Amino acid sequence: MRSSWAARKVVVVGAGRSGRAASELLLQLGAHVTLTDSRTAGELGASVDDLERLGATLALGGHPPQLWESADAVIASPGIGPSALPLVAARACGVPVLSEIELAAAYAQAPCVAITGSNGKSTVTAMVGAILEKAGLDAPVCGNIGVPLSTVVAAALRGEHRPDRYVLELSSFQTETIERFRPRWSAILNLSADHLDRHSTFESYAEAKLAICTNSTSDDWLIYGADDTYLTNHLPPHPQHVPFSATATVTVPAAWLEGNGVHWRDSAGDTHRVVGTEEMQILGRHNALNAAAATALACLAGASPQDAGTALRNFRGLEHRMELCGTVAGVRCVNDSKATNVGATVAALRGIDDPIWLILGGRDKGADFGELAPHLANVRGVLLVGEATERIAEALPAAVDSMPCDTIDVAVAKALDNAATGEVLLLAPACTSFDQYTDFEARGKHFRALIADRGTPDVAR
């Protein structure tokens, strides 16, 4: 249901990318917008200057209590948790609090494809966007992947494009606050412990992910990872479940891997071999499984299996996600900086058959690093960096050769000095980057630069 925002006083909490995009959309809709953030103008730099020129009021360096007394509504950026003090204060004043996703989705001019899960969601989202583009559909990729939904919705309202679908990546920070948002096609890829520093328990985190289906109707579809036991045991009620799996299935419809190929069985029961895994340009069996999930979503959303096959053959993957970024003296170097939780690191390890030198560490999110133990048989050495070094070292089996390195510079040098031709240096940290970098992208770029200084790039970016 759309709200009329004209002349309403709206406070947007959080001046990150989503908060700024929500502010711009609200200004376009005629609202009186105040953007507030605990950071100062000096810390935010030029990122908020345009909003002030467009008419927004800035309340920076804190959240003045009088904001809530005069507000008609509050819009919260995804990074601001429901229990954050400014949102608690707003609710105490009787001010309704909405998420950026709820705000934007009410003005979406096409149905949404929404993807969540602990690992692989950015890759699947990008794959779905590529397949739908191949099918001739205008399907902007947005959400947690980089461009906020508010940005593409505002552009559509200005007549700059006419979307046929919106393809959304959603984090648990975005799904936990769903009220009315209803994707036509949704996917829960997998569930493993992540963001426990915000959600406290795995069960609470999983509940946030499962909320993607809160408003599903008989017209909607849910694609889910059938190999994830916890997920299959906790699937929300939904009229149309569609599994994807690493093994063949008789379900109609369904997507799966079989005989080195991605297969799709459509609603009519017809089976299609979509693409051979050897034809794909991205590493790892888990990425083949991501392709199966993307095929299911895109084909249900209007693409053909042929569209899916062509797009997946040409898909080169996303930066910092199992990115083969160079070779040094016969050692392949793989940048999976986006592996910020244990489940993502396990997926990366499963996707590589050669002996591995593994860089782990960064800022701990409360994960159980002991879960890595069963997957380290192929690991020749673990290079530990950052704040989590001690916790990881304590959790690793005694038989694993682990080396404290403090920084990635030291870890790369030590690994390449010891690795042999045919082995792999893998950055898959199982931690966030915020102890030493601004984000996982900065960490991945640093790793790439270190490899470029010592070897030959495998791909041009």
Cβ distance 436 to 386 under 8 Å?
Answer: yes
Q: What is the pLDDT of residue 3?
A: 64
Q: What is the pLDDT of residue 435?
A: 95
Last residue of a domain, one of 75, 100, 125: 100
Cβ distance 432 to 342 under 8 Å?
Answer: no
Which residues have CB under 8 Å from 399's CB, separation 6+? none
CATH of the domain at 134: 3.40.1190.10
Q: Which domain holds residue 218?
A: 108-314
Listing DSSP states for 84-126 in one string gives SHHHHHHHHTT--EEEHHHHHHTT-SS-EEEEE-SSSHHHHHH
Same domain assignment for residues 76 and 112: no
Same domain assignment for residues 329 and 382: yes
**Candidate list 63, 119, 134, 144, residue with the active-site label:** 144
**Candidate list 32, 63, 134, 195, residue with the active-site label:** 195
Same domain assignment for residues 152 and 90: no
Q: Residue 103 corresponds to which tokens in the numbers above? A: 């705000």
Last residue of a domain, one of 266, 289, 314: 314
Told to judge if 241 belongs to the known catalytic residues of this protein, a careful annotator would answer no
- Helices 408-418/440-454 angle, 10° precision: 40
User: Is 459 a member of any domain?
Assistant: no
CATH of the domain at 24: 3.40.50.720
Q: What is the pLDDT of residue 7?
A: 94
CATH of the domain at 379: 3.90.190.20
Same domain assignment for residues 298 and 253: yes
Which residue from 409, 402, 460, 417 is spatially nearest to 437, judged by alpha carbons?
409
Told to judge if 121 belongs to the known catalytic residues of this protein, a careful annotator would answer yes
In whole angstroms, what separates CA 421 from the centre of its chain?
33
- Helices 121-134/305-314 angle, 10° precision: 120
Same domain assignment for residues 277 and 383: no
Same domain assignment for residues 299 and 415: no
Same domain assignment for residues 137 and 224: yes
Told to judge if 195 belongs to the known catalytic residues of this protein, a careful annotator would answer yes
Q: What is the pLDDT of residue 223?
A: 97
Last residue of a domain, one of 71, 100, 129: 100
Same domain assignment for residues 120 and 193: yes
* 429 φ/ψ angles, rounded to the nearest 5 degrees: -70, -20
User: Is 4 a member of any domain?
Assistant: no
Q: What is the pLDDT of residue 128?
A: 98
Q: What is the pLDDT of residue 1?
A: 44
Residues of the chain falling short of pLDDT 70: 1-3, 193-200, 455-461
User: Is 444 a member of any domain?
Assistant: yes
Which residue from 319, 301, 381 is spatially nearest to 135, judged by alpha carbons?
301
Same domain assignment for residues 405 and 297: no
Q: 322: which DSSP letter?
A: S
**Candidate list 121, 263, 286, 446, residue with the active-site label:** 121
pLDDT in tens, 315-343: 988 788 888 888 999 999 999 999 998 98
Counted domains in the chain: 3
Residue 165 is inside which H or E element, if any? none
Q: Give the Cβ contact number of residue 229 at 10 Å.
A: 10
Same domain assignment for residues 336 and 298: no
Same domain assignment for residues 123 and 236: yes
User: Is 2 a member of any domain?
Assistant: no
pTM of the model: 0.81
User: Is 297 a member of any domain?
Assistant: yes
Same domain assignment for residues 27 and 124: no
User: Is 215 a member of any domain?
Assistant: yes
Q: 375: which DSSP letter?
A: G
User: Is 262 a member of any domain?
Assistant: yes
